[in-house]
């Protein structure tokens, strides 16, 4: 580990000449052939942390030498997967190392979350262009081969291939992934409903759903994106997953599969974001009326799924689709301001508002003032802030709906409190008080009732009534 750290630093700092880099490349690849190649002893393989460090070294060598003396990098690393009889992909030790190297390479040259200097960004663009032109077809073919060998036989390898697809698809030709051969492996894995031998969540299925989300989220022309959503039959896939035992039968129980729920929620949100990008323009983009009709159909198809995950009892799942809900309401507000909001979309607002109000409520298991739950409570208050913004957007689109829903909610809860008193759950009363506060922020001017220019509107009268009900409830 110490030696590899020193080597990695030297390569990164560009402190080695071409001859030294060549010696390193030869030495380390010879070691990889011995440790992971066809003649390797699978019982004496390096521990995981050392493999990761060695993969990092290979990645730095790749960045330094791929555009020159090591243009055959991908072919060489793939050689590690050859078995003793010369069959590619059959040497499990080499396969795992090959997949680790590809993952590390992506993180180094294509991870958009990592900040890089202008020179590094330019270098990475050039490397990615060379990979696309020289090796991308080979890499995609290797994934197909590995899935054909290990799908149903080795869960770890299958999961890692799917994770690579999710990573790499953003900068590769979509046709290398969305084709009959790849979909033959991917779609059945997405639809798996069983658990693994340990009774835990199905990591392979979750990885397959994530890969499908990344495929759907890939940048492309909007007509192509709408066509892709239809081609992949995503509505039926999501429907099957939502109706599965993991998400429906076990909902509300400790066995509820939150990992799968988050993965499917991400897929739904990805679809919604793409659809709303089309619908935000009331005039058909590209002069294609069919595009607008296609996007409208996808919104109608996926809106129930969006509400399903937005209403999920787990806040992590709800948070996954908040961007999707925000985008829907933002586009609705834009269309409403120009009087172009279709009636069908206007009718979606009550169900969205109902879901927002329910998510504003503390969980029934929450304890008032419990110091052990302070972190969870802080996260919940952050969620409430995002939900409050969504409510305000609805108020801008349909103020009457906002006024009626929140005033009725608070009034009913205060009435119940007057009847039940201390027997009432504090979560309900907290919800009424919080929503009444948010209501006041929307319907009152900046200075509230004290403003000299204040005019008593119907909405303000509702607020006065809410305060009166609160006081009289005791």
Looking at per-residue pLDDT, the higher value among 376 and 212 belongs to 212
Residue 335 lies in a domain: no
Closest-CA residue to 94 (of 135, 55, 151): 55
Q: Write the CB contacts of 346 (distance below 8 Å, at least 6 apart in sequence).
A: 332, 336, 397, 398
In a domain, 64, yes or no: yes
Alpha-carbon distance of 56 to 178, in angstroms, equals 30
Is 55 inside any structural domain?
A: yes
pLDDT at residue 281 is higher than 90: no
The pLDDT of residue 41 is 73
Whether 93 maps to a domain, the answer reads: yes
**What average pLDDT does the chain have?**
90
Contact assessment for residue 161 and residue 143, using Cβ atoms and an 8 Å cutoff: yes
- What's the rounded Cα separation, in Å, for the pair 422 and 236? 47
In this predicted model, what pLDDT tens digit does every residue of 312-362 receive, in sequence order? 999 999 999 999 999 999 999 999 998 889 999 999 999 999 999 999 999
C-alpha span between 114 and 366 (Å, rounded): 37
Q: Is the residue at 84 inside a domain?
A: yes
- Span 44-98, pLDDT tens digits: 788 989 999 999 999 999 999 999 999 999 999 999 999 988 999 999 999 999 9
**Which structure tokens are listed for 367?**
């304890």
Does residue 470 form part of some domain?
no
* pLDDT above 70 for 284: no
Answer whether residue 11 is part of any domain: yes
pLDDT for the residue numbered 56 = 95
Tens of pLDDT, residue by residue over 223-235, are 999 999 999 999 9
Residue with tokens 């060998």: 149
Instruction: Give dist(CA 414, CA 434) in Å, integer.
Output: 13
**Domain encompassing residue 122:** 1-134
User: By three-state DSSP, how is residue 16 classified?
Assistant: coil
Give the pLDDT mean for 105-122: 92
Domain total in the chain: 1
Spatial distance between the Cα atoms of 424 and 389, rounded to a whole number of angstroms: 28
> What is the distance between the terminal CA atoms of the chain, rounded to a whole angstrom?
69
pLDDT > 60? residue 447? no
Q: Return the DSSP state at 254.
A: T
212 φ, ψ to 5°? -65, -35
Does the pLDDT value for residue 418 go beyond 50? yes
Range in 105-109, 138-142, 198-202 the model is least confident about:
198-202
Cα 342 to its chain centre, rounded Å, is: 29
Task: Kindly report whether the global pTM for this prediction surpasses the value 0.75.
Answer: yes
467 occurs within a structural domain = no
> Per-residue pLDDT for 448 more than 80?
no
């Amino acid at each position: 580990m110490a030696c590899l750290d020193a080597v990695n630093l030297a390569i990164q700092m560009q402190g080695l000449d071409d001859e030294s880099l060549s010696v390193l490349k030869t030495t380390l690849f010879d070691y990889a052939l011995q440790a992971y190649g066809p003649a390797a002893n699978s019982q004496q393989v390096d521990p995981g942390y050392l493999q990761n460090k060695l993969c990092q070294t290979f990645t730095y060598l790749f960045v330094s030498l791929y555009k020159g003396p090591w243009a055959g990098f991908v072919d060489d690393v793939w050689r590690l997967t050859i078995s003793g009889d010369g069959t590619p992909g059959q040497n499990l030790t080499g396969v795992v190392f090959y997949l680790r190297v590809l993952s590390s390479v992506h993180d180094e040259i294509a991870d958009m979350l990592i900040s890089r200097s202008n020179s590094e960004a330019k270098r990475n663009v050039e490397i990615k262009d060379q990979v696309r032109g020289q090796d991308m077809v080979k890499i995609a073919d290797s994934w197909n081969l590995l899935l054909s060998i290990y799908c149903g036989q080795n869960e770890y390898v299958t999961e890692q291939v799917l994770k690579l697809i999710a990573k790499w698809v953003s900068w590769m030709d979509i046709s290398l992934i969305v084709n009959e051969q790849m979909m033959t492996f991917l779609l059945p894995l997405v639809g798996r409903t069983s658990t693994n031998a340990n009774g835990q969540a199905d990591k392979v299925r979750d990885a397959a759903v994530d890969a499908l989300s990344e495929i759907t989220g890939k940048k492309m022309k909007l007509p192509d994106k709408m066509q892709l959503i239809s081609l992949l039959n995503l509505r039926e896939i999501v429907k099957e997953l939502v109706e599965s035992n993991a998400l429906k039968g076990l909902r509300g129980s400790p066995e509820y599969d939150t990992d799968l729920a988050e993965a499917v929620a991400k897929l739904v949100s990805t679809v919604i974001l793409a659809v709303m990008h089309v619908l935000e323009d009331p005039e058909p983009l590209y002069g294609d009326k069919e595009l607008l009709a296609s996007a409208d159909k996808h919104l109608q198809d996926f809106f129930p799924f969006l509400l399903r995950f937005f209403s999920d009892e787990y806040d992590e799942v709800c948070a996954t689709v908040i961007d999707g809900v925000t985008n829907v309401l933002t586009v609705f507000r834009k269309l409403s301001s120009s009087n172009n909001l279709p009636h069908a979309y206007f009718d979606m607002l009550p169900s969205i508002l109902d879901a927002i109000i329910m998510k504003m409520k503390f969980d029934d298991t929450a304890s008032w003032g419990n110091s052990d739950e302070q972190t969870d409570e802080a996260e919940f208050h952050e969620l409430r802030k995002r939900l409050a913004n969504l409510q305000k957007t609805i108020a801008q689109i349909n103020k009457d709906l906002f006024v009626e829903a929140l005033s009725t909610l608070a009034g009913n809860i205060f009435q119940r409190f007057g009847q039940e008193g201390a027997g009432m759950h504090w979560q309900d009363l907290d919800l009424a008080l919080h929503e009444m506060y948010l209501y006041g922020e929307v319907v009152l001017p900046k200075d509230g009732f004290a403003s000299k220019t204040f005019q008593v509107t119907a909405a303000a009268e509702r607020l006065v009534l809410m305060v009166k009900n609160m006081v009289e409830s005791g």
